[in-house]
Amino acid sequence: MCLAKGEVGEEGEGKCDIYEGSWVVDESYPMYNSTLCPHIRREFDCQKYGRPDKLYLRYKWQPKDCDLPRFDGQDFLRRFKGKKIMYIGDSISLNQWQSMVCLLYAVVPDQSRIFQNANGPLTTVIFQDYDLSIMVFHSPYLVDIEIEEIGRVLKLDSLKNGSIWKTNDIVIFNTWLWWYRSGRAQPWDYIQDGDQIKKDMDRMVAFKKALITWAKWVDSNVDFNKTQVFFRGVTPAHYDGKEWDEPRVTNCSKETQPISGSTYPSGLPQSSYVLEGVLSGVTKPVQFLNITTLSQLRKDGHPSMYNGVNRSMDCTHWCIAGVPDTWNQLLYAALISQN
């Protein structure tokens, strides 16, 4: 399986792009009961906070020309016994991490042997009987924000947390959500680009420069004999119905079904092209989890007002159980193809 292109198949045989497909109802889904998983933050716990419909839980991703292996939690625990797996990025990484924890929690015989601890930006769930750590490291820009005399500085060419990240066996990166934040939601006061310190700059240019810093770090610092590196694609928000040919829709609050077919009307966002361009220049074998289009199709997958946070409208994050389970299913497919 070449995840950069999403291809499955032996040499000489027909290849299958696992990222080209559609969402279909499968009555065996969801893969776990979210009400029994104690690790879900209230922002993502849609059933607990009153979401009335359940059809969104029943969809599985069906590639056009092949089948995706179902996530097998017991196999995962056995296969990766003794390993350290870390999700690194923004709150969408947190979304995917909590999905993985619930997928595994559901199949562990003695759940009293599962422990969680938090230390600054790092949260770890340890599956004691398997010596398996599933971690999430909060780093929304991947590059550093440092406190200096002038204030908080976003440094596009500095990446100091890499010394922690590279010690793991499997790392899954993502960044995008915070790059266009401004005002009080913006956690920095200045951007440093090389020797220049600026009050602001073109955010897409800044995003690309930070990704290039990350790519150089990967090429120079990660031992690929020990560590497998994944980068998950940009995830969409669904606040603008024009993107899916419903121009009067302004959020996801009434969405209960995916978009049919395999094409999102407005196409990929610019950030996806920037990300793929940078990844194509990495010399080491970083694997791309190309989940943008399949996630764009899931306008029904967000918490909307069922998020336990003042019933605010959230069409950015994802319900758990839900779409992030498929991201982890694709990660599992990549891992088992290599191990």
pLDDT digits (tens, 9 = 90+) for 165-186: 999 999 999 999 999 999 999 9
317 is catalytic: yes
pLDDT in tens, 278-301: 999 999 999 999 999 999 999 999
What percent of the chain is modeled with pLDDT above 90?
Answer: 91
Cis previous bond, 258, omega within 30: no
pTM of the model: 0.95
Mean pLDDT of 188-217: 97
Given a cut of 90, whether residue 11 has pLDDT beyond it is no
pLDDT in tens, 212-248: 999 999 999 999 999 999 999 999 999 999 999 999 9
The residues that bridge with 117 in the sheet, in sequence order, are 124
Given a cut of 50, whether residue 35 has pLDDT beyond it is yes
Q: Sign of dihedral through CA atoms 288, 293, 296, 298? A: negative
Write down the catalytic residue from 91, 271, 272, 295: 91
Given a cut of 90, whether residue 88 has pLDDT beyond it is yes
Write down the catalytic residue from 45, 144, 314, 325: 314
Check residue 1 and give its pLDDT.
30
Mean pLDDT of 15-23: 90
Q: How far apart are CA 80 and CA 131, in angstroms?
A: 9
Of 112 and 10, the structure prediction assigns the larger pLDDT to: 112
Sheet holding 132-138, edge to edge: 114-119, 122-127, 132-138, 84-89, 170-173, 228-232, 287-289
Q: Are 288 and 279 spatial neighbours (Cβ–Cβ below 8 Å)?
A: yes
Check residue 7 and give its pLDDT.
56
Write down the catalytic residue from 39, 238, 302, 317: 317
Chain-centroid distance, C-alpha 62:
19
